[in-house]
Amino acid sequence: MQAIIDHFTAHQPEYAEITTDRLIATGLPTYTELGRDQILARIMIPGFQAFAQELVQQIDGAFGSYFGRVGTLRAQQNGRIEDVLVALQTAKEVMNADMSASFRDQPEALIWWYEHMIPIIYNGAIAVSRNFVAAREQIIQSQATELREMAMAIIPIYQNVLVLPLVGSMSPQRASMLIEVLLGGISRHGAEVVIIDITAVPVIDTSVANYLIQAARAASLLGSQIILVGISPEIAQTLVQLGVDLSSVITRADLQSGVEHALRLRHREIVATR
């Protein structure tokens, strides 16, 4: 209805000002730290412009698209989605209060307003929530990958000799990642020998042991040998009980023994000096 559209257009700057003041009054750090000018320029004015695009210009999804981007940004900034929803609710209350007062004698105009306003605000809230959750999940997955990679870093210790220390429990997913990290390291460094140190791995089951065997076989295809070190008595007993055959893999008691054997394979050795 044109009367509602004209009224909204005329009062749009006022709505932004009032909503900004009310957000600051909430005491939420998101808004008190930004300051009035920044809230207006970065949040309120663009938000009401997006609302106007959908209400006045009938650009379907303009408001949801804007707040979808807001949701993604809030997640990337480690912000709170509740603060964005408070802003949406506050803006809605400001507009509704004015519309109800201005068109109290025109029920048809008010009905038109609510029929158009509610879906726009609702879709904005859905978009900001959906994008916020999706961005947070992506960040969490990215951080988990970084942590796994940090816990599975391949280290050059000598020319063409690498060490791959494994720390913590080995899930099947992490064990499968072992092969990827191993082959990438071999290819990148031109390694001929890789020492896999499982000293800090508390438990190894059949699945993980098979991944270690597969890793050794995959490495051999690239011309590299695997030396497995750090098998504890408990893990050794478990592997025997499970019937796991590690005869195809060179094993040594500890990292020092593994390094010494790796150097011998490279026709080098550690000698004492005076």
Question: What residue spans define the domains of the chain?
Answer: 2-147, 155-265
155-265: what CATH class? alpha beta
Helix (H, G, I), strand (E, B) or coil at 270: coil
With pLDDT > 70 as the criterion, what percentage of the chain qualifies? 95
pLDDT, residue 181, reads 85
Fold that domain 2-147 belongs to in CATH: Globin-like (1.10.490)
For residues 244 and 209, the answer to whether their CB atoms sit within 8 Å is: yes
Q: What is the pLDDT along the chain (274 residues), one digit of tens a residue?
A: 899 999 999 999 999 999 999 999 999 998 998 889 999 999 999 999 999 999 999 999 999 999 999 999 999 888 899 999 999 999 999 999 999 999 999 999 999 999 999 999 999 999 999 999 999 999 888 777 666 655 567 889 988 999 999 887 777 777 778 888 899 999 999 999 999 999 988 888 888 888 888 889 999 999 999 999 998 888 888 888 888 888 888 999 899 999 999 998 887 776 666 6
- C-alpha closest to that of 14 among 89, 72, 129, 99: 99
DSSP letter at 157?
Answer: E
Structure tokens at 120: 């726009």
How far apart are alpha carbons 229 and 15 in whole angstroms?
A: 69
| Total-model pTM | 0.59
CB contact at 8 A, 195 and 186: no
Q: What is the DSSP letter of 40?
A: I
Tokens of 274: 């005076």
Helix-helix angle 62-76:45-55, to 10 degrees: 150
